[in-house]
């Protein structure tokens, strides 16, 4: 991965940062992340269906 060119034009740099945007992700702290044991034979699920769906969204 190459490094971006170093800039000295602060106004241009700040405009580029604003254009880049922002993304905030918040998770519900009460959501159950770990799956409930099914009681069946074989490997158990590691994560709940809700946790997987939240990550895929």
**pLDDT for 4 beyond 70:** no
> pTM of the prediction?
0.45
Predicted pLDDT at 27? 80
Predicted pLDDT at 56? 85
Torsion 31-35-37-38 (CA) sign:
positive
Predicted pLDDT at 1? 58
Predicted pLDDT at 10? 87
Compute the chain's Rg from CA coordinates: 21
* Separation of alpha carbons 53 and 57, rounded Å: 6
12 φ, ψ (degrees, to nearest 5): -65, -40
pLDDT tens-digit map of 10-56: 888 888 888 887 777 788 788 888 888 888 888 888 888 888 888 88
Count of other CB atoms within 10 angstroms of residue 21: 6
Question: Look-up: residue for tokens 């159950």?
Answer: 32
């Amino acid at each position: 991965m190459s490094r971006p060119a170093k800039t000295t034009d602060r106004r241009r740099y700040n405009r580029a940062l604003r254009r880049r945007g922002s993304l905030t992700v918040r998770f519900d702290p009460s959501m159950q992340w770990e799956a409930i044991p099914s009681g069946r034979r074989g490997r158990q699920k590691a994560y709940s269906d809700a946790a997987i769906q939240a990550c895929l969204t």
